[in-house]
């Protein structure tokens, strides 16, 4: 079906999605997908997974319901002549384990490290909750105090704050608490950086997690403490050193009730007069200066919120099921899509490289007119009226030669070893 369709010229508006084929070749996505699915170059299972990867790129969930896309070339970029069904997707993801999905994430993170996607020594970790449309009966939670309670899927993300790129994610479950999930996430982080400063959230302020990090790793940690009555007394009685007008820092030691281990406690005080004082305290395993940790480092933690705002629509802001195998598979494949999209964005000039995932999907992946045809052993994608300022012709025209020059085989295995090239008119 794929070869028969390509024997004719196909008119499409999904032309821009073909740029990601080159980025998947650079990432080695196909080998990772085959490793996850257990399929080979000619099998359908890896192509079903590739469809999920490309669904994430265009920020659409359940694209299989959008049957008109089949007439716009979306199915071809996955190496198929049709859109796979909901049942096929469900069976694929349900039949592959959490461990297999985690292995995909771990392999991807190592490749991203080698490709320069991670460049800093500060990693933000976050217990991110996403809305769920599951039909299960379950307790509802509030994402923010002022919002109504809703069904939530608990996730735990790690991200390099220098580049804003995700390292991986773990899913929470009723049988696994925050400390256990975070420890599993940290095992994944160790593959990338064993001595990073971890910037945590208040939910990570647990004795088990802090003790485990202190005794079993080389990580530094900076975590906000819960504002208990005991902490408030410490904050009020501490001796502060002024750093600048309205800002002072105090240091003391803290131990959990019934525990002998002592940890460094940093308290910051804001306000000019005693009646205006506002306190916030942090526990740290780092010996770095307090002003560096509180005044510089912790502000970088908000890069993980920027990631959710920037790329959340790729599949990190919603969950339709609580089946762990399915959710791990979908989110791991979405991370693969996000990595390829990041590589494409790096080729765009400012300000286009700061388009969020939705804007990128609409402006590049879904709204460029063109056609797809075969010439000998090449799939030729012709793009019309692409804004020259995007510089896409510079990176994708004569693509086989560019890939070969980088030591990458230009044959696309999920497109039956055709090479891919672009024309711009």
Task: Choose among 55, 111, 94: nearest CA to 78.
Answer: 55
Domains of the chain: 2-96+368-424 (no CATH), 100-311 (3.90.350.10)
Q: Sorting pLDDT into bands at 50, 70 and 90, what band is 137?
A: low
- Angle at the Cα of 165 (from 161 to 170), degrees rounded to 5? 100
Q: Name the residue with tokens 């009226």.
A: 385
Tens digit of each residue's pLDDT (9 = 90 or more) over 218-270: 999 999 999 999 999 999 999 999 999 999 999 999 999 989 999 999 999 99
Assess whether pLDDT exceeds 80 at residue 72: no
Going by their DSSP bridges, the two strands 411-412 and 418-424 should be labelled as: antiparallel
- Looking at residue 14, its pLDDT comes to 87
> Residue 195: CB partners within 8 Å, gap ≥ 6?
121, 218, 219, 220
Q: Sorting pLDDT into bands at 50, 70 and 90, what band is 319?
A: confident
- Looking at residue 63, its pLDDT comes to 63
What is the enclosing helix (H) or strand (E) of 177? Answer: none
DSSP string, 156-174: EEEEETTTTEEEEEEE-BT
Assess whether pLDDT exceeds 70 at residue 21: yes
- Looking at residue 180, its pLDDT comes to 87
Give the separation between CA 333 and CA 53, rounded to whole angstroms: 5
User: Per mean pLDDT, which range of 8-17, 95-104, 328-337 is the poorest?
Assistant: 8-17
Q: Name the residue with tokens 């009966």.
A: 137
What percent of the chain has pLDDT above 90?
77
- Looking at residue 139, its pLDDT comes to 64
Give the separation between CA 281 and CA 224, rounded to whole angstroms: 6
> Can you give the pTM of this predicted structure?
0.92
- Looking at residue 138, its pLDDT comes to 67
- Looking at residue 67, its pLDDT comes to 52
Tens digit of each residue's pLDDT (9 = 90 or more) over 28-62: 999 999 999 999 999 999 999 999 999 999 998 76
SS3 7: coil
User: Per mean pLDDT, which range of 10-24, 143-157, 284-298 is the poorest?
Assistant: 143-157
What is the enclosing helix (H) or strand (E) of 281? Answer: strand 278-284
How many CB atoms are located within 10 Å of the residue 28 CB?
Answer: 14
SS3 368: strand
Give the separation between CA 346 and CA 116, rounded to whole angstroms: 11
- Looking at residue 151, its pLDDT comes to 75
- Looking at residue 69, its pLDDT comes to 63
Q: Sorting pLDDT into bands at 50, 70 and 90, what band is 324?
A: confident
Tens digit of each residue's pLDDT (9 = 90 or more) over 81-133: 888 888 999 999 999 999 999 999 999 999 999 999 999 999 999 988 777 76
Long-range CB pairs of 260-269 (<8 Å, 24+ gap) are: 261/211, 261/214, 263/210, 263/214, 265/225, 265/234, 266/290, 266/293, 266/294, 267/234, 267/235, 267/238, 267/240, 268/294, 269/235, 269/240
């Amino acid at each position: 079906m794929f070869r028969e369709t390509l024997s004719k010229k196909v008119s499409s508006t999904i032309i821009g999605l073909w740029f990601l084929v080159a980025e998947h070749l650079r990432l080695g996505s196909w080998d990772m997908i085959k490793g996850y699915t257990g399929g080979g170059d000619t099998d359908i299972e890896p192509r079903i997974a590739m469809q999920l990867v490309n669904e994430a790129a265009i920020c659409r969930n359940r694209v299989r319901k959008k049957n008109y896309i089949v007439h716009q070339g979306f199915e071809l970029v996955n190496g198929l002549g049709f859109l796979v069904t909901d049942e096929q997707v469900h069976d694929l993801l349900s039949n592959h384990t959490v461990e297999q999905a985690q292995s995909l994430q771990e392999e991807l993170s190592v490749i991203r490290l080698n490709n320069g996607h991670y460049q800093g020594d500060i990693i933000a970790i976050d217990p991110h909750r996403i809305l769920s449309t599951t039909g299960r009966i379950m307790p509802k939670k509030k994402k923010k105090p002022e919002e109504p309670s809703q069904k939530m899927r608990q996730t735990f993300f790690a991200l390099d704050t220098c580049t804003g790129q995700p390292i991986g994610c773990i899913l929470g479950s009723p049988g696994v608490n925050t400390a256990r999930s975070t420890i599993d996430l940290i095992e994944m982080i160790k593959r990338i950086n064993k001595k990073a400063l971890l910037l945590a959230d208040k939910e990570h302020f647990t004795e088990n997690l802090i003790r485990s990090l202190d005794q079993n790793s080389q990580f530094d940690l900076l975590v906000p403490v819960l504002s208990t009555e005991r902490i408030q007394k410490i904050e009020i009685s501490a001796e502060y050193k002024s750093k600048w007008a309205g800002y002072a820092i105090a240091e003391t030691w803290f131990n959990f009730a019934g525990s002998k281990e002592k940890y460094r406690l940093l308290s910051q005080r804001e306000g000019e007069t005693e009646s205006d004082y506002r306190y916030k305290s942090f526990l740290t395993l780092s010996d770095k200066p307090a002003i560096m940790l509180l005044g510089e480092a912790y502000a970088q933690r908000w890069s993980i919120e920027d990631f959710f705002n920037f790329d959340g629509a790729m599949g990190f802001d919603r969950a339709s099921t609580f089946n762990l195998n399915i959710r791990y598979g979908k989110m791991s494949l979405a991370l693969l899509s996000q990595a390829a999209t990041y590589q494409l964005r790096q080729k765009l000039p400012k300000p286009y490289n700061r388009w969020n995932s939705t804007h990128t999907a609409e402006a590049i992946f879904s709204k460029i007119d063109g056609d797809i045809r075969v010439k000998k052993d090449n799939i030729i994608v012709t793009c019309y009226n692409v804004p020259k300022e995007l510089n896409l012709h510079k990176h994708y025209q004569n693509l086989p030669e560019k890939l070969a020059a980088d030591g990458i085989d230009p044959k696309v295995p999920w497109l039956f070893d055709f090479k891919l090239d672009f024309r711009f008119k």
